[in-house]
Structure 1
Amino acid sequence: MKNILIDCDPGHDDALAIMVALAHSEAVNVLGITTIGGNQTLTKVTQNAKNILHFLDVTIPLAKGQEGPLVKALKTAPEAHGESGMDGPYFDGESYPVSDLTGVEFLYQMIQASTEKVTLVALGPLTNIALLLKTHPDIVPAIEAISLMGGGISHGNQTALAEFNIYVDPEAAEIVFQSGIPIIMAGLDVTEKAEITVQEINALQNGGKVSNLAYELLSFYNQSGRQFGFIDSPIHDLCAIAYLLRPDIFNGVQADIHVITDNSPARGLTYGDFRRIAEEPKQTFVLQEVNREKFVELLVDSLKKLDRQVENR
């Protein structure tokens, strides 16, 4: 079993990633969740995390992280996720306890307290994790890996060259990619292949309470995605969790990844050294392909599992 900490900015696909992780307590032990300003403001994404955890009736520790990036002002994505950051379902401002610790101190203390190494799952900008590594370098040996959604070798989405999570805080991303910690990178090269079809989304409506919530999330997300040229819906963030559960449905290649941090049109671009003999260690496993059908099967089966769990509580 892997001990994991999820750093996120919910976000429709963040919410689905959290759901799938919590459905598989036999494989991943979610020690806690931190939020980061990204898809929306820190206040909004933290409320979204509270809504999901309250809805699932779980007791996972939650902490608020940084409001914005290391250097520049936060750029949110209401065009993709709506004004709440997770538009679609109706939540009545559900309450859920939030730690008094900062996100960075929360992550540090949770890793310190774990008797086994911890895998960090990063679903938003990498600000919290970069600050953790810079503030507490002693914690690096206790981190088994970082599984992140971010970047893209062939193209971007926030700009022609840069993916949103990396573009929001490229300075933090460069710190993380060059930390020496093994990284699994689920960038746009693979996440845009991890699509759920409209028909598969509609089928969720016939399920239980959690499946119906996923239907509401994905219905909004699918309509929002049309403006970006998508007919079906890539569930980007879920790839970072799905790899930990089902690495067999992905393939990729090792590389040394860097991030452009200047103010040129390439700001936020992730690029890799894929040469057989690279100048630096190839610490990042760059995911390139996914079995779409098995990816969707993992999601649907996880939702059904949560349906049963919620009904039995």
Structure 2
Amino acid sequence: MENKRKIIIDTDPGIDDAIAIAIALFSEELDVKLITTVAGNVSLDLVTENTLRLLTFFGKNILVAKGAEEPLLQKFDDAKNVHGASGMDGYDFGEPNRSNLLKVHAVNAMRRTIIESDTPVTIAAIGPMTNVALLLKMYPEVKSNIDEIVFMGGSLTRGNKTVMGEFNIATDPEAAKIVFSSGVKLAMAGLDVGLKALVYPEDSEKIKIMGKTGDMMYSLFQKYRGGSFKTGLKMYDSCAIAYLLCPEMYEIADTFIDVETQSNLTLGCTIVDLKGYLRKSPNAKVCTDINPEIFKQWFMSSIEKCI
């Protein structure tokens, strides 16, 4: 397909990240120009290794750059309890090809990719926003050639890392605040829609027989603790890719969002001002709901293409 949408994926694989990356790599509508890694679900070294393993597994020659190994100010706290010690427990990928790992920092690689692109680039941020915040502060000139930052993160209600903080935002709330105030076009697919983006047991059984890709994903699913293998696994990060490829599955509101960075009780809480109480101009499109059936159909058909 001509005129594919150029994207940079900023990520911290992570089992649900791995699925989202696979869908993006095999989409006929997306052109993945760069994958950058950030400490999140596990350490920077592990998420980078996992990214290279995925690319080797799929035979994709996409440039990769390592980014931030810790949040801007907060102490780093991973999610090994959800994704396993490696971040992608459950499948033996073997040694990856490291020839496409750049020596430059992710922020510099992002800048170069954006500046040199002849069309605006979309950033799909499916991990903590540390790299993206550093990019926008260090190289504000890139803003003019960023089409949109679509991120999986935040919540309309409560959290899954802290009482009020969703994992990606609560891991580095200061970075999120920089991104939210950047003036760049934003789209948020948060925890609320992720909780409804489920892969049920019968779906997992169908995926299991989709060749080597299905076998790999099924093996990861068995170790994934984002939900339950029996009652439904939450595909949080695929929601950001779904926004790019199938936005009709969402209810979307234009609104103002910000993040709490001062309170010990609500650090990382995303303030999504749907009622306009703050009298601020909208700075983001926010997915307020998802059609689970459309997501399921889109997700299964997308996985079928990952061969």
Q: TM-score of the superposition, structure 1-length normalised?
A: 0.93
1:263, distance to aligned residue in structure 2 (A): 4.4
Change (3 A) 1:224 1:259: closer
Decide whether the 8 Å contact of 2:226 with 2:234 is kept in 1: no
The alpha-carbon distance between structure 1 residues 122 and 172, as it changes in their structure 2 partners (threshold 3 A), is same
Q: How does 1:281-296 map to 2 (within 5 A)?
A: 281-296=281-296
> How far, CA to CA, are the matches of 1:86 and 1:259 in structure 2?
29
Question: What's 1:267 paired with?
Answer: 267
2:202 aligns to what SS in structure 1? Answer: helix
The whole-number CA distance in structure 1 between the counterparts of 2:302 and 2:239 is 14
* Cα distance between partner residues in 2 of 1:231 and 1:300: 17
Provide the rounded CA distance (Å) in 1 between the counterparts of 2:214 and 2:250: 24
Structure 1 residue 293: deviation in Å? 2.2
Deviation at 1:212, TM superposition (A): 1.6
Letter in 1 for 2:94: D
Superimposed CA distance per residue, residues 208-241 of structure 1 (whole angstroms, 9 cap, x where no aligned partner): 11122121122221x56349xx821110000000
Does 2:191 correspond to 1:191?
Answer: no
Q: 1:303 to 1:261 in 2, by over 3 A?
A: same
Alignment partners' CA distance in 1, 2:179 and 2:56: 31
Does the C-alpha gap of structure 1 residues 280 and 224 become closer, same or farther in structure 2, counting only changes over 3 Å? closer
Identity of aligned residues (%): 38
Task: Report if the CA contact (8 A) 2:25-2:32 is conserved.
Answer: yes
TM-score with structure 2 setting the length: 0.95
What secondary structure sits across from 2:227 in the alignment? helix
CA distance in 1, matches of 2:116, 2:214: 34
Return the alpha-carbon distance in structure 2 between the equivalents of residues 273 and 300 of structure 1.
33
Which residue number corresponds to residue 256 of structure 1? 256
Select the residue among 44, 53, 56 that pairs with 1:54.
56
Q: 1:173 aligns with which of 176, 182, 206?
A: 176
Q: Letter of the 1:78 partner, please give it.
A: K
Who is 1:241 aligned against?
241
What pairs with 1:123-272 in structure 2 (closer than 5 Å)?
123-221=126-224, 225-226=227-228, 231-272=231-272
For 1:203 and 1:130, how far apart are their aligned partners in 2?
A: 39
Stretch moving more, 248-257 or 167-176: 248-257
Superposition misfits of 4+ residues, deviation over 4 angstroms? none
CA contact 1:104–1:128 (8 Å) conserved in 2: yes
1:231 and 1:305 map into 2 onto residues whose CA distance is 25
Checking the alignment, whether the CA contact within 8 Å between 1:225 and 1:233 is kept in structure 2 is yes
Amino acid at match of 1:59: N
Runs of 5+ unmatched residues, structure 1:
308-313
CA 1:224–1:120: 2 relative to 1, 3 Å = closer
Partner of 2:280: 280
RMSD of Structure 2 on Structure 1 (CA) = 1.6
Q: Tell me if the contact between 1:80 and 1:225 (Cα under 8 Å) persists in the aligned partners.
A: no
* Equivalent residue letter for 2:200: T
Taking the aligned partners of 1:8 and 1:215, their CA distance within structure 2 comes to 21
Which residue pairs with 1:29 in the alignment? 31
**SS of equivalent to 1:243:** helix
